[in-house]
């Protein structure tokens, strides 16, 4: 059978994804596809997103049907040059066996933990050669905020993502959490993993953490990508912060979470439930209150890094969603050459993953 045939598979977004629904195809049979092109929309019980092609080629066959649900790694399409006869494509589809190895796969993507001075830190790691990309999530988030980024970025080189102290599955009992708590955790993780320098990519509060790390330790940072970052202006949506911190029920939390996305329909039951599960953990409520009071007292941003960033001379890139309802997109103007993406909200790295991934890779591996 021709080794020129390349399958298009149902992606696996995060540990818990077992299956996905192919909502619609975005490309026709017979069209030429380049890596990174959005080829279909897929919906899971947690989220909906466009799938990027990981390989390029001629789309010979759409195997997956729009509206149908398929397990992870099921065959959805076939790429092959025009020279491969239809009969061979038919045979390929008929004999296709999903790459199983579910066990080893889970091991590769299973959460990892390290004990740092601040306490236990969870992180995820994708191996590779070169300077790693280190992903730092925002206030109340965790490393799953990079669900649509981590594997795409990993195709170009190593990637590390962490749960900051007080977040995700990392330590919750942190006395007087501050920006220093967060930057110490980032440097501590790099030390433990033997990472001398990293491309730091931070979202929202994580952008502030990444930027501050670059200012304090320019020797450890190869470049900075600040996405909808804190630290570049005064304003922040205090009603969102208060709602997020105080909400104890689905009914109270959902009206806060919808501010995160331009497409508010993305906030479904499962996403709200996942955030609630985090917020119910012992220590999270007190931690978030203390961190909010330290970084965003009186619904204003207390930390400002734009001037210091301009002074260190480290390559620094900025991405923002034009419809950001948490930190206004006008803050992107605090640094030069910012990219503002239309139609995206605060979680621009999820809502416009393809574009954000392409931008990051152009800066880190370009």
Give the footprint of another protein on this chain (CB under 8 A): 15-16, 106, 110-111, 169, 172, 248-251, 268-269, 273, 277, 280-282
Q: Which residue has the tokens 């993502």?
A: 161
Which residue do the tokens 């740092």 mark? 116
Query: What's CA 139's distance to the chain center, in Å?
Result: 14
Q: Give the shortest CB-251-to-another protein separation in angstroms.
A: 7
Residue whose CB is less far from another protein, 97 or 277: 277
248 or 311: whose CB is closer to another protein?
A: 248
Query: Which residue number, 172 or 317, has a Cβ lying nearer to another protein?
Result: 172
- Is-contact 122 326, C-beta < 8 A? no
Pairs from 88-91 (Cβ < 8 Å, separation ≥ 24): 88/1, 88/2, 88/5, 89/5, 89/60, 89/61, 91/1
Closest among 145, 294, 165 to 230, alpha carbons compared: 294
Closer to another protein by CB, 38 or 43: give it. 43
Tell the smallest beta-carbon distance from residue 84 to another protein (Å). Answer: 37
> Cα separation of 260 and 244, whole Å?
11
Task: Quote the least distance from Cβ 249 to another protein, whole Å.
Answer: 5
Asked whether 209 and 186 are in contact (CB, 8 A), the reply is yes
Cβ proximity to another protein, 280 vs 300, nearer residue: 280
d(CA 347, CA 79): 32
Among residues 124 and 359, whose Cβ is nearest to another protein? Answer: 124
- H or E element that contains 308: helix 306-312
Question: What's the closest the beta carbon of residue 217 comes to another protein, in angstroms?
Answer: 31
Instruction: Tally the residues of the chain.
Output: 366
124 class by beta-carbon count within 10 Å (0-12 exposed, 13-18 middle, 19+ buried): buried
CB of 112 vs another protein, minimal distance in Å: 11
Minimum gap (Å) between residue 258 Cβ and another protein: 16
């Amino acid at each position: 059978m021709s080794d020129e045939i390349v399958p298009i598979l149902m992606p696996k977004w995060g540990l818990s994804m077992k299956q996905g629904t192919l909502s619609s195809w975005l490309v026709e049979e017979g069209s030429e596809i380049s890596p990174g092109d959005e080829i279909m929309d897929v919906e899971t019980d947690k989220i909906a997103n466009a799938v990027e092609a990981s390989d390029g080629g001629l789309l010979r066959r759409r195997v997956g049907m729009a509206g149908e649900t398929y397990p992870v790694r099921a065959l959805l399409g076939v790429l092959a040059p025009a020279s491969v006869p239809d009969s061979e494509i038919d045979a390929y589809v008929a004999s296709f066996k999903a790459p199983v190895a579910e066990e080893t796969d889970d091991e590769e993507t299973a959460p990892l933990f390290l004990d740092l001075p601040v306490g236990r830190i969870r992180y995820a790691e994708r191996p590779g050669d070169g300077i790693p990309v280190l992903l730092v999530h925002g206030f109340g988030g965790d490393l799953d905020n990079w669900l649509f980024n981590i594997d795409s970025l990993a195709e170009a080189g190593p990637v590390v993502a962490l749960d900051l102290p007080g977040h995700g599955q990392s330590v919750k009992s942190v006395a007087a959490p501050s920006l220093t708590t967060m930057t110490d955790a980032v440097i501590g993780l790099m030390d433990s993993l033997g990472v001398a320098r990293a491309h730091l990519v931070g979202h929202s509060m994580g952008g502030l953490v990444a930027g501050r790390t670059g200012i304090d330790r320019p020797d450890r940072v190869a470049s900075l990508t600040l996405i909808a970052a804190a630290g570049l202006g005064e304003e922040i949506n205090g009603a969102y912060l208060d709602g997020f911190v105080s909400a104890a029920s689905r009914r109270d939390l959902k009206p806060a979470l919808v501010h995160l996305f331009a497409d508010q329909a993305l906030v479904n039951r499962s996403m709200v439930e996942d955030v609630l599960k985090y917020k119910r953990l012992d220590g999270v409520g007190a931690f978030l209150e203390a961190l909010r009071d330290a970084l965003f007292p009186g619904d204003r941003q207390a930390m400002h890094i734009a001037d210091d960033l301009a002074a260190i001379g480290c390559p620094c890139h900025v991405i923002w969603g034009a419809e950001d309802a948490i930190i206004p997109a006008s803050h992107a103007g605090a640094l030069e050459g910012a990219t503002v993406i239309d139609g995206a909200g605060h979680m621009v790295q999820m809502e416009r993953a393809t574009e954000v991934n392409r931008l990051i890779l152009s800066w880190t591996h370009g």
